[in-house]
A = this chain, B = another copy of it.
Amino acid sequence: MDKKNYREKLISTATRLFAERGLNGVSIRELSTAAGVSISMISYYFEGKEGLYSSVLQEQFSCFEYMATIKERDSGPMDKIEEYIRWSIQRHRDYPFLLRYYTSELTNPTRYFSSIVRPTLEKALHILIDIIKTGIDEKLFRGGLNPEDTALAMAGMVNYYFLSTLATEEFINHSPERDEELIRHYMDIFTRGILS
């Protein structure tokens, strides 16, 4: 039989369950059963339950690094904007989990938030601003446009949709087709407001 590594299995199961019900909403007994792994593996691979939670967190937020690469892509501002929206939507699949983190049940949530989440959100915003500035320079976007305002409105807009659909059937069951539909929807809004 193949050598198994249940570390990943634990992480993926924990990601789903913690996203659904939070750190204190899931017992490690239920978690290990759902993962099909012995309960003692949690202490074996991680430093207990909070250690597992921290590992999940770290993995969740590492995905933001991809966002930073969009700026360097060899494509026009319009394509980059679309890429940002696409990335946002895929990221928002994990939104319940991220929201949980914002109001974390960890022993010292504020420190984590300040050191990871906040800079990440600000970085994302500045990348958007840069893309829009480039669009204005290249005279693709309206000259009168305020890059900071536009980026904020855009990031907020995408955000707001997910906040309002969170935890609904619509959110949980969104398909790739629905994703594309959403991307077109936001690109339409963006286009209406921004093209020169």
Binding site for B on A (CB under 8 A): 19, 21-25, 96, 99-100, 102-105, 109-110, 113-114, 117-118, 121-122, 125, 146, 149, 152-161, 163-169, 189, 192-193
Contacts and interface: CB of A to CB of B under 8 A. Distances in A.
11 contacts: A22-B103, A99-B103, A100-B103, A102-B167, A104-B167, A110-B167, A110-B168, A113-B166, A118-B165, A122-B164, A146-B192
User: Does more than half of chain A's interface fall in helix, strand or loop, or is it mixed?
Assistant: helix
A124 to B, nearest CB: 9
Most chain B beta-carbon contacts within 10 A, residue among A22, A99, A103, A113: A103
Given A102-B166, A103-B166, A110-B167, 13 more contacts: A99-B103, A103-B167, A118-B165, A122-B164, A125-B164, A146-B192, A146-B193, A152-B160, A153-B153, A155-B156, A156-B157, A159-B159, A159-B160
A48 B163 CA distance: 29
Contact of A113 (B25, B114, B154, B167): B167
A162 B105 CA distance: 18
A166 to B, nearest CB: 5
A193 B149 contact: yes
A96 B105 contact: no
A157 B153 contact: yes
Contact of A24 (B22, B103, B109): B22
Contacts of A164: 117-118, 121-122, 125
Given A25-B24, A105-B21, A113-B168, A155 B149 contact: no
Given A99-B102, A163-B102, A118 B22 contact: no
Contact of A155 (B22, B117, B160): B160
